[in-house]
Structure 1
Amino acid sequence: MPIKKDIIWRVGLVYAVVMLFALMIVGRVVTLQLFEGDYWRGKAQKISQRDVIVRANRGDICAEDGRILATSLPYYQIRMDFRAAGLTDEVFKSKVDSLALCLSRFFNDKSKNEYRRLLWNSKYKKKSNRYVLINRRKVNYNELKVIKTFPLFRLGKNKGGLICEQENKRQQPHRNLATRTIGYLNKEDNNKLIGRVGMEGAFESELKGVDGVSILQKMSGRWLPVNMVEPKDGNDLITTIDVNYQDVAESALYHQLVKYNAHHGSAILMEVKTGAIKAIANIGYDEKKKVYRELYNYAIGEATEPGSTFKLASMMALLEDGYVGPMDSVDTGNGIYRFYNAKMRDSHHGGYGKITVQEAFEKSSNVGISRLVDEHYKNKPREFINRLYDFRLNEPLGLEIRGEGTPKIKYPDDPTWSGISLPWMSIGYSVHQTPLQTLTFYNAIANDGKMMKPKFVKEIRYHGEVISKFDEEVLKSKICSGQTLETIQNMLEGVVLRGTARNLRNSNYKIAGKTGTAQIADGKKGYGHKVYQASFVGYFPADDPMYSCVVVINRPNKTKGFYGNQVAGPVFKSISDKVYAMSYSMHPERKNEEEEGPKVPISLNGSKEDLDLVFDDLNIDITNPKIQTEWVVTSRKDSVIEYKYRRVKNFLVPNVKGMGVQDALYILENVGLRVQVRGVGSVSKQSLRPGSNFRSGDRITIDLS
């Protein structure tokens, strides 16, 4: 009995242990399935699967004609996997010397022995570092093809250990053309590049595309792709930039900055009707590198006191409110006028005296403009400021590109407002405008009063297909009345014809615009240290404007020059001349020869018999062919020739003006005169007066030209 109980107890214990173990297993299974399943399934997936991000190709930024301004090109970093399955000792030792020699010749930075030492140590002495960087320099695709032909590397990834890590670099093929406007990319924490500046930043969502995902499964010790979400390439931007005009603008600006040792400058070319920016140049002096290059987008971001170019707004306010007309007069005196305790001065020594309002604008008289504004708005300054606000000069343009400078036109309730605020604001001080804001205002004058928003991009394309277009945007449909507009346009033309910008006149096309010379604050030194900003803004051809342009040059060497017409004006003219030469649409149309009718040549006076033969041979009609005379005077009338009598009387000096030398000699010598001939061509002058008396043998001199 005791033995039986002992056996039963032992069996029961074993059974209980087994049951307990079984329950534990069941409990663990339940726990894994219900509570820890997701965790362990994820763990298993990490071991057997992994996701690889497949970067999308960033879209290109192109000029208006499709030429690339910014694109992404692949570059590769070369590494070597010294634990590759097929890279046996035998294979490695047989080819390491040849590979070291090829690497030395290719990169040309280390000797063959140095590269051999790197390869040998990485294979046998640095087991913990599996993937070794061969050279820090990244290679392009064509260079990679050469590297893949090197010993070992030509065997592929598994046997040769070659690892090529691709990285896309943003390149601008035209180098510095519009660099700040095109923009650049910054690297984020995940090493992804993202647009931050210029069009790269403004259109980041369009350019970046959508990354794909490649799912790799570990099978038989190898990672194989089992699924993939394809990346979607970014869209391409087609900008309004014209590469040829951009090159012209940057070249003209650069040479003037160098000539006047200026600190920085900008130039913008805009299409009048659309507001499309055709060129935008920004160049500054790099103090560290001692060269001129694109440092900052001054055209968009730098709001400064514009100086005399702001007089356009002051004059428009006076005209629009009906306070003055162009032929009214203003007394500028000796060029110095006191407003309270401050003196206003004209740049012209001695002043202009009493002149018309139009002359005050054309000559850019500080005294004239400020006296007019002070006289009519002194007791109602809000009316003047409200008019400037109505011109939209206090509002940003709302550009897609980040970093637009803020315009500033203070109101009379501003704490800094004083009695001299109004006259000084009238000539462009105590106000702030960026070059692009100033240009947009002048462009509205050229565009018959319609203010256009500056446009940098005209289309977005995906793989060549247009998916969206950017229409023109009107900021203000009518900036002023038609009468004011016509008067202002005449005044802007007068600045170039008779005023401060006479040096910009040319015979091919008309320019309208305004010079500006402003003394600007020099940091903490303020206005005590004389620093200047020269500018010119206008449009061309003035009679049918197609382009507007602004040039601003900051801190020229004042010993070499600092006036707007002298420093900024030539840049404007260089740009406008070359744009005019390249734009055939601006040239006067030539009439069709058939529409003009037959062309009748200029004929010399002479023998009627000879002329009849010539005109008959040329099939040219004569109005009075039956006129009875030996000598005739010819004249063109519409498409025919008209004869007039030329009689030769005895003992009176014949009139031979307009004749050829042969006929003149025949007539004069036949009547008994001795002839001396000077020059070549037809007779333009004779020493004896036609119709006067003479004696046979008298001398006569005829001048030909």
Structure 2
Amino acid sequence: MSSKFNDKKIIPRYGLLSLFITIGAIAVVAKAFYIMTGERDYWMAVASRQKKDSVQVKPVRGNILSCDGQLMASSLPEFKIYMDFNTLKTTGNDSLWNVKLDSIAQGLNRIFPSKSAAQFKADLTEGHNKCSKHWPIWDERIDYSTFTEVKDLPVFRLPKFKSGFHWEEFNARRRPFGSLAQRTVGDMFGAKDTARCGLELEYDSILRGTNGIIHRRKVRSKYLNITDTPPVDGADIVTTIDVQMQDIAERAVINELKEIDGRVGVAIVMDVKTGDVKAIVNMEKCFDGEYREIRNHAVSDLMEPGSVFKTASIMAVLNDGLCDTTEYVETGGGVWNMYGRDMKDHNWRRGGYGGMYLPKTLLVSSNIGVSRIIDKYYHDNPERYVQDLHNFGLTDDLHIPIPGYSPARIRYPKKNKNGQYVNWTKTTLPWMSIGYETQCPPISILTFYNAIANNGCMMRPRFVKEIVKDGQVIADYPPVVQRKQIAKPEVIKKLQIILEHVVSQGLGKKAGSDKFLVAGKTGTAQMSKGALGYKTGGTDYYLSFAGYFPANEPRYSCIVCIQKHGLPASGGGMSGVVFHNIAEGIMAQSLKLEAADARDTIGPFLPEVYNGNLHAADYVLSLLGFSVNNGWGGAFPSGDPVWGFVDENTGRLQIQREKVVPANEVPDVHGMGARDAVYIMESRGIKVILDGRGSVLQQSIGAGEPIRRGMVCRLKLG
């Protein structure tokens, strides 16, 4: 083999190869430059379809809990469902769609019966023809159980990147107790997932949590989520609301409003020692005649409080030592001219009250009596009287954590440089002393009466006790003393006695109870219509009762305010009745009685037993000392329900079981108590509306009918 290098043959070959490589390199660079410039927009669009950066992930909103940990507002997932017909075609499942379309339409009709199968088919066919990538299957949000039903339909059950079925998930806000304390707990704007009012809005930043950040990459026709910053779920808020007290107060207010055709009803219940707001009701009559919570009147209504304000006036004159309870005042025949204006007592048509001592001015709520006493001692120095009202905490900013709250407004006398009052007349003081020419929200008036019940110590109303995250308390809100002592202890004691007599002997009798002592004050005031005056278009009345119970050892204070049009109108006879019902309902909760105490020794030998859960009936009958033939001796109070009735017609108690209809049929609940009837109905997905009390007399849907989604059954009890 020759070692001589033949450069004449080799060099041209290397040169030709280098030329090809150089041309290829130039072509690659040129193509890359062209892609970067001429085709930049196209390839950027392609890249955007393969990845998504900085995608926000919403955290789970925190819960709002009652004082004992029951859910009052919670976040539950809801979904909007769509179909991507373009994906369906590109994956080759278009033929499967055509075969299964009828089955899909029928399945959707079964899940959403308000829309026919034919309508579903026509709607889906339209989306298919348009090759839509985001065609809505159902226009509204659906809950998780409904979502799983839809997802189990033909084609939809395939993987998302094959079927084209996809969804948007939302954290929907739900209140397990319905409208209970709705305006205080608050609402959400559903479409925006943002807080609207109440505690939801005030504590929005705490409840909302912090959004997370992810980026998404498309790998083999499937998006993978890669977390950059994980979301931080919202914390839970523990309120002071007691669900049972709230229910008692709400029912008491609504019943009275319906009885008297009232326009607005407010009730607040507060714990005397801590200031905890245990119940707060804000009912307003709507255009359809039903009562709902539209706005938080309890903290936002700046109204002339009327006669409940007289207690503060009497407290002022006693606390300043200007007189004592032996002060005597003449009220004449029920009409007294005060600087050119007639002041009238409520019984002026019946001749008035004549002369009386100071305590009676509150017992009978005498406008003349209170206004004459205040005018006598403060006419030349109204600043002292108004300063007393401020010192009592009536105008304090209570820092209520509910948007819309406003502190009370009480005018302070002002003089010009010549020493003349510029915002004050001779009649201002007399009318202010009986609750006019001032503006106080119900929460401020209740806080004042709560201080009297608490021996003069004013507590700030508390709505939130603590904030909890993952079972740990991260913020605590202890009770706050607003004012250590609003008046002298001996003055507070005198007023406690007078307010107790208002209920036991005076106009507040309907607020009282024969089971425990009640103290409080009635109020009936005409409502101003601004520039139109008080009587234009008829007179509107603001009826109230503020007090506390039990009077000897106060536990709870309460205020009830009702707005209504026209006569009859009575603070004691209307708001006082609501107060009575609330107080007795709350106190009944604390009673600890033995079941055997319920046995009636003079009644029928055998008791009447409602149909329903035989285990529960057997348990109660055993505790009452009755022997039940073929029973269980009260051994299974919380066992699985056994349905039937107790036959007492044979002279002895005999358990008779009944065959329960299949789970897909409406059960027969005639003769059952409300608890058992609701349980067996709702366990089968039937919503129940109760009308009356006692055992079930009628059910609006007959027994044995097939159960359909969204079915509502009205039960008449008696």
With normalisation by structure 2, the TM-score equals: 0.73
Q: CA deviation at 1:29?
A: 11
Contact kept, 8 Å, 2:161 with 2:222, in 1: the verdict is no
Write the mapping of 1:280-291 to structure 2, written as runs, cut at 5 A. Answer: 280-286=280-286, 288-291=287-290
Q: CA deviation at 1:221?
A: 4.8
Please point out which of 144, 148, 156 is paired with 2:147: 144
Write the mapping of 1:578-593 to structure 2, written as runs, cut at 5 A. Answer: 578-584=585-591
Instruction: Report the residue type matching 1:73 in the other structure.
Output: L
Residue 135 of structure 2 aligns to a residue whose secondary structure is strand
| Structure 2 CA distance for partners of 1:331 and 1:65, relative to 1, 3 Å | same
Q: CA deviation at 1:44?
A: 6.0
Q: CA deviation at 1:127?
A: 4.1
Q: CA deviation at 1:557?
A: 4.3
Instruction: Report the residue type matching 2:299 in the other structure.
Output: I
CA distance in 2, matches of 1:82, 1:546: 65
Please point out which of 79, 86, 92 is paired with 2:91: 86
**Equivalent residue number for residue 366 of structure 2:** 365
**Equivalent residue number for residue 324 of structure 2:** 325
1:382 and 2:383 equivalent?
A: yes
Contact kept, 8 Å, 2:513 with 2:584, in 1: the verdict is no
For residues 49-82 of structure 1, give each alpha carbon's deviation from its aligned partner in whole angstroms, at most 9, with x where no partner exists.
4332211000111111111111111111121111
CA distance in 2, matches of 1:51, 1:42: 17
For residues 526-581 of structure 1, give each alpha carbon's deviation from its aligned partner in whole angstroms, at most 9, with x where no partner exists.
212322111000001111100000000012541xx211111100100101111111
CA distance in 2, matches of 1:44, 1:148: 30
Q: CA deviation at 1:227?
A: 3.4
Moved more, 484-493 or 130-139: 130-139
Instruction: Report the residue type matching 1:183 in the other structure.
Output: G
**Equivalent residue number for residue 161 of structure 2:** 158
Residue 329 of structure 2 aligns to a residue whose secondary structure is strand
Q: CA deviation at 1:308?
A: 0.5
CA distance in 2, matches of 1:114, 1:506: 61
Moved more, 305-314 or 520-529: 520-529
CA distance in 2, matches of 1:425, 1:565: 21
**Equivalent residue number for residue 350 of structure 1:** 351
Residue 451 of structure 2 aligns to a residue whose secondary structure is helix
**Equivalent residue number for residue 334 of structure 2:** 335
Instruction: Report the residue type matching 2:584 in the other structure.
Output: D
Please point out which of 432, 445, 467 is paired with 1:460: 467
Write the mapping of 1:219-298 to structure 2, written as runs, cut at 5 A. Answer: 219-286=219-286, 288-298=287-297
**Equivalent residue number for residue 440 of structure 1:** 447
1:178 and 2:193 equivalent?
A: no
CA distance in 2, matches of 1:49, 1:351: 82
| Structure 2 CA distance for partners of 1:563 and 1:121, relative to 1, 3 Å | closer
Percent pairwise identity: 37
Contact kept, 8 Å, 1:76 with 1:138, in 2: the verdict is yes
1:68 and 2:77 equivalent?
A: no
**Equivalent residue number for residue 106 of structure 2:** 101
| Structure 2 CA distance for partners of 1:421 and 1:148, relative to 1, 3 Å | same
**Equivalent residue number for residue 646 of structure 2:** none
Instruction: Report the residue type matching 1:468 in the other structure.
Output: A
Instruction: Report the residue type matching 1:551 in the other structure.
Output: V
**Equivalent residue number for residue 489 of structure 1:** 496
**Equivalent residue number for residue 549 of structure 1:** 558
Contact kept, 8 Å, 2:407 with 2:444, in 1: the verdict is no
Instruction: Report the residue type matching 1:176 in the other structure.
Output: S
CA distance in 1, matches of 2:324, 2:174: 55
1:300 and 2:299 equivalent?
A: yes
Residue 568 of structure 1 aligns to a residue whose secondary structure is helix
Contact kept, 8 Å, 2:86 with 2:132, in 1: the verdict is no
CA distance in 1, matches of 2:142, 2:69: 27
Contact kept, 8 Å, 1:396 with 1:404, in 2: the verdict is no
Write the mapping of 1:104-123 to structure 2, written as runs, cut at 5 A. Answer: 104-123=109-128
CA distance in 2, matches of 1:452, 1:585: 29
CA distance in 1, matches of 2:248, 2:256: 13
| Structure 2 CA distance for partners of 1:173 and 1:415, relative to 1, 3 Å | farther
**Equivalent residue number for residue 423 of structure 1:** 430
List gaps (5 residues or longer) in structure 1.
Answer: 1-18, 587-705
For residues 104-137 of structure 1, give each alpha carbon's deviation from its aligned partner in whole angstroms, at most 9, with x where no partner exists.
23222344333333333322xx445222111213
List gaps (5 residues or longer) in structure 2.
Answer: 1-21, 415-420, 594-718
CA distance in 1, matches of 2:52, 2:267: 56
1:205 and 2:210 equivalent?
A: no
Instruction: Report the residue type matching 2:542 in the other structure.
Output: Q
Contact kept, 8 Å, 2:210 with 2:231, in 1: the verdict is yes
Contact kept, 8 Å, 1:257 with 1:556, in 2: the verdict is no
Q: CA deviation at 1:28?
A: 14
Q: CA deviation at 1:341?
A: 1.0
Instruction: Report the residue type matching 2:507 in the other structure.
Output: T
1:469 and 2:485 equivalent?
A: no
1:539 and 2:558 equivalent?
A: no
1:512 and 2:512 equivalent?
A: no
CA distance in 2, matches of 1:83, 1:46: 14
Instruction: Report the residue type matching 1:118 in the other structure.
Output: D
1:131 and 2:134 equivalent?
A: yes
CA distance in 2, matches of 1:525, 1:261: 24
CA distance in 1, matches of 2:142, 2:246: 31
Contact kept, 8 Å, 2:75 with 2:172, in 1: the verdict is yes
For residues 653-687 of structure 1, give each alpha carbon's deviation from its aligned partner in whole angstroms, at most 9, with x where no partner exists.
xxxxxxxxxxxxxxxxxxxxxxxxxxxxxxxxxxx
| Structure 2 CA distance for partners of 1:228 and 1:298, relative to 1, 3 Å | same
| Structure 2 CA distance for partners of 1:315 and 1:27, relative to 1, 3 Å | farther
Instruction: Report the residue type matching 2:358 in the other structure.
Output: V
How many residues of Structure 1 are paired with residues of Structure 2 in the alignment? 554
Instruction: Report the residue type matching 2:440 in the other structure.
Output: Q
**Equivalent residue number for residue 478 of structure 1:** 485
CA distance in 2, matches of 1:114, 1:334: 77
Contact kept, 8 Å, 2:304 with 2:436, in 1: the verdict is yes
**Equivalent residue number for residue 505 of structure 2:** 498
Instruction: Report the residue type matching 1:381 in the other structure.
Output: P
Q: CA deviation at 1:279?
A: 0.4
CA distance in 2, matches of 1:398, 1:375: 36
CA distance in 2, matches of 1:49, 1:410: 61
For the pair shown, the structure with the greater C-alpha radius of gyration is 1
**Equivalent residue number for residue 708 of structure 2:** none
| Structure 2 CA distance for partners of 1:111 and 1:573, relative to 1, 3 Å | closer
CA distance in 2, matches of 1:266, 1:139: 35
Q: CA deviation at 1:311?
A: 0.5
**Equivalent residue number for residue 637 of structure 1:** none
CA distance in 1, matches of 2:547, 2:380: 33
Q: CA deviation at 1:169?
A: 1.6
CA distance in 1, matches of 2:545, 2:158: 65
Residue 444 of structure 2 aligns to a residue whose secondary structure is helix
Please point out which of 561, 567, 570 is paired with 1:563: 570
Write the mapping of 1:520-669 to structure 2, written as runs, cut at 5 A. Answer: 520-522=527-529, 525-528=532-535, 529-558=538-567, 561-584=568-591
Instruction: Report the residue type matching 1:62 in the other structure.
Output: L
1:50 and 2:59 equivalent?
A: no
Instruction: Report the residue type matching 2:176 in the other structure.
Output: P
Moved more, 203-212 or 138-147: 138-147
For residues 366-425 of structure 1, give each alpha carbon's deviation from its aligned partner in whole angstroms, at most 9, with x where no partner exists.
111101111111111111111111112223311111111341111221744110000000
Contact kept, 8 Å, 1:196 with 1:202, in 2: the verdict is no
